[in-house]
Amino acid sequence: MSSIMIVEDEFIVAQDLAVSLTEMGYEVCGSFETGESAMQKAQNQRPDLVIMDIVLKGKWDGVQTAKKMHAQFDIPIIFLTAFANQALIERAKLAEPFGYLLKPFTKKELQSAIEISLYKVEMEKKLRASEKRFRNMADLLPTVIFELDATQRITFINKAGITLFRLSKDDVAQGVNILELLPAEQQNKARKRFAQVLSGQRLGSTEYRMRNKEGVELSLIVNSAPIREDDTTTGVRASIVDITEIKKLQLQLRQAWKMEAIATLAGGIAHEFNNALMPIVAYADLLKLKRPKSIIIEKYVDNVMTSVDRMSDLTQQMLAYARGGKYYPRLASLNDFVQNALAVIRDSIDPAIKVVTEMQNDVALIEIDESQFKFVLTALVTNACEALANSGCIWIKTKNMIVDESLANQNAGLKSGSYACLQVEDNGSGMDDKTRQRIFEPFFSSKFPGRGLGMAAVYGIIKNHGGWIGVDSKMNSGTVVSIYLPETKSR
């Protein structure tokens, strides 16, 4: 049985309504003369329907009371009035009534208005439940789903989209224009595609570069279709798959494959170079033996041997990059190694550059070739000094790190497990992405064309130790080089 509240300041009309409603089989849960008293009762009673006169005694009239009831309790209203002027009707519409009866009215008209209103209430409940179910289902999807109106403003977006684009409730309520999330060079493409979809064309998947509200660039695959209502296209419905991390991993894998190919070539060249140096050394020694008292020949031979030594060092660097060469591992404490190596390196660092060490206690033991790792630390500190231009700070840090599957999946070549981590950080000039992606290539240098084996050799040494190296850098924001070395279980 539906419960109905009466709000009518004419006693006889209210009584007649109560009798009629009871005869029709409805429950009358109260009759009130003022909007204020009706609101107090409605707060606890929550009737299914309210029949309300527009003209009431008290501070609020029927329209004001109805608007408050609708906003606070979502109770449907049927208005009663003896006046039917257009201005009153327009004002009454603002309260979103479910019916409108002009006095006097018949019982049949009253019952029809009530039944239609209750039916509309039921349909609205089902519609809201359906919308809620749809939104809950949409929010469960990892894929972004959104809708645009004809002006390209977002009218609906699921939770995945809100998270991806870092949108606030105000953003969603106001309707963000999708073009605001696109870089300028992508906006014309988006406008053209939007117009094509509105015209009914099927475009398939389209890749876009977009930015969230925090300015982070995203790589996205968008599929879209027109929204049609009554044979009219009113907007676009679309889904998004975020491929940002996939694109990053593809770039890392391409870089790793390139490095492997270059390493193979460097290794072959280094071995051939070593083979060519051996007879030069032998013949130089023979010259000394044949002409032991010739000062001129001895001078020439010494010059040859100086060049041979330089070429031998270069060969060793190439072999280190190619993950070959001499390799004498021993169990070591990363903290002890850093302290001992720094004692030697500090003399070559400009006094204006501050070096700060932050070493975690009980860092895991590792197996390293200390000679090769002294080269690694020297190369990293030298690069940091050059980036600082004789003024600034270098931080050298050690710590234990547990790499889980999630972190490993985000960094090509890094495996899950326990590591000792060495970081060399500076607050220098930093690098752009293009430079950062090339720093491990042999003979690439941001300083001198055709030179630079240091970081290439560092890369090979770290790989040869089963480790991983990563570089994080931005222009004018410094550089952080992180080296992960597998923990040795024996402690």
Instruction: List pLDDT tens digits, range 219-233.
Output: 899 988 888 877 788
- pLDDT value at position 399? 94
Instruction: Record the pTM.
Output: 0.47
Q: For residues 209 and 324, what is the distance between their CA atoms, to the nearest angstrom? A: 41
* Under 8 Å between Cβ of 4 and 48: yes
Name the band, by pLDDT with cuts 50, 70 and 90, for residue 450: very low
* Under 8 Å between Cβ of 53 and 8: yes
Question: CA-CA-CA-CA torsion for 157, 161, 165, 171, nearest 10 degrees?
Answer: 20
Q: For residues 377 and 322, what is the distance between their CA atoms, to the nearest angstrom? A: 18
How do residues 155-164 score in pLDDT, each as one tens digit? Answer: 888 888 888 8
Q: What percent of the chain clears pLDDT 90, i.e. is strictly above it?
A: 11
- pLDDT value at position 447? 55
Least confident of 42-51, 167-176, 364-373, 454-463: 454-463
- pLDDT value at position 474? 87
* Under 8 Å between Cβ of 335 and 368: no
Least confident of 20-29, 63-72, 154-163: 63-72
Asked if the peptide bond before residue 449 counts as cis, ω within 30 degrees of 0, the response is: no
What's the average model confidence in pLDDT over 25-45?
84
The Cβ-side half-sphere exposure at 181, using a 13 Å CA radius, reads 23
Structure tokens at 319: 């072999």
What's the average model confidence in pLDDT over 120-148?
80
Name the band, by pLDDT with cuts 50, 70 and 90, for residue 143: confident
Identify the DSSP state of 153.
B
State the amino acid at position 202 in one-letter form: R
Interior CA angle at 168 toward 166 and 169, to 5°? 145
Q: Which helix (H) or strand (E) holds 303?
A: helix 295-321
The full DSSP string for 155-196 is EEE-HHHHHHHT--HHHHHH--BGGGGS-HHHHHHHHHHHHH
- pLDDT value at position 358? 94
pLDDT at 449 over 60: no
How do residues 287-318 score in pLDDT, each as one tens digit? Answer: 777 776 777 777 878 888 888 777 776 676 66
Contact partners, residue 448, CB within 8 Å, separation at least 6: none
- pLDDT value at position 446? 58
How do residues 113-126 score in pLDDT, each as one tens digit? Answer: 888 888 887 888 88
The Cβ-side half-sphere exposure at 38, using a 13 Å CA radius, reads 36
What's the average model confidence in pLDDT over 224-246?
85
- pLDDT value at position 448? 42
pLDDT at 135 over 50: yes
Q: Average per-residue pLDDT in the chain?
A: 82
- pLDDT value at position 397? 95
State which of 93-97, 102-106, 439-443 shows the largest mean pLDDT: 102-106
Q: Which helix (H) or strand (E) holds 107?
A: helix 107-140
Q: For residues 186 and 167, what is the distance between their CA atoms, to the nearest angstrom? A: 20
